[in-house]
């Protein structure tokens, strides 16, 4: 029987729009979107920041050096978070009803600025009982450490957890650590996966 449902964040709860992000950086720096993507791909700053290896001030400094441009803190946060779109891919009401019976955990490869922005602009994340964030646990999916942290946050055995993520590699890694897991496609498909496992949505079985 499931006791905890674990969700990825990007492209599961909050949609990601990378072209919009590249356009925002283009407008802020004067470089073309292709040049923005090329410069970002040429360095390891993003992975290091999400892995907790770079502080936020150091990360901002590295990006300013990369684009030869200075930003105030608020502008930089908004620019860095320009990849996030609306509306959420899972409805808040679904989480509210699941929360009546199950522990909810958010498991994400993310970073300090992104998560601060998310909490300010997407109230749905406040419905989760606990957050397991790569930059805090210093482990990134599909590495094993972050799944062990998620199981600890779930407060139950691995096989009593269900995890959904948009990347197949992360799902396979989760299964390797004993979690029940399925690739996220959309909310109706997710509800189908949960229904197949006897999950109750509020007071009633998912139908």
How high is the pLDDT of residue 178?
98
- Cβ 124 vs Cβ 95: under 8 Å: yes
Better pLDDT: 9 or 202: 9
Break the chain into its structural domains and give their ranges.
4-15+86-205, 18-80
For residue 11, what is the enclosing H or E element?
Answer: none
Which residues, 6+ apart, have CB-to-CB distance to 43 below 8 Å? 62, 66
- Angle, nearest 10°, between helix axes 33-41 and 56-67? 130
C-alpha pair distances (Å), 70 with each of 28, 82, 174: 10, 17, 40
* Architecture field, domain 4-15+86-205: 3-Layer(aba) Sandwich (3.40)
- Percent share of the chain, pLDDT over 90: 96
Strand duo 204-205 + 200-201: pairing: antiparallel
pLDDT tens, 23-43? 999 999 999 999 999 999 999
How high is the pLDDT of residue 207?
46
Average pLDDT, the chain: 96
Say whether pLDDT at 202 is over 90.
no
* Single pTM value for the model: 0.95
| C-alpha span between 179 and 21 (Å, rounded) | 33
């Amino acid at each position: 029987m499931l006791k905890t449902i674990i969700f990825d964040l990007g492209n599961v709860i909050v949609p990601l729009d990378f072209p919009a992000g590249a356009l925002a950086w283009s407008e802020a720096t004067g470089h073309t979107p292709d040049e923005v993507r090329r410069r970002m791909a040429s360095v390891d700053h993003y992975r290091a920041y999400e892995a907790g290896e770079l502080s936020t001030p150091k990360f901002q400094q590295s990006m300013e050096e990369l684009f030869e441009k200075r930003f105030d803190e608020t502008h930089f946060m908004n620019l860095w978070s320009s990849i996030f779109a609306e509306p959420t891919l899972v409805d808040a009401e679904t989480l509210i009803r699941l929360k009546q019976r199950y522990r909810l955990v958010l498991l994400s490869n993310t970073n300090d600025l992104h998560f601060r922005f998310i909490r300010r602009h997407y109230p749905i994340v406040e419905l989760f009982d606990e957050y397991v964030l790569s930059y805090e646990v210093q482990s990134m999916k599909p590495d094993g450490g972050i799944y062990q942290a998620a199981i600890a946050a779930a407060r139950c055995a691995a096989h009593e957890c269900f995890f959904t993520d948009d990347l197949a590699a992360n799902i396979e890694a989760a299964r390797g650590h004993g979690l029940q897991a399925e690739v996220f496609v959309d909310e109706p498909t997710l509800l189908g996966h949960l229904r197949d496992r006897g999950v109750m949505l509020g007071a009633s079985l998912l139908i």
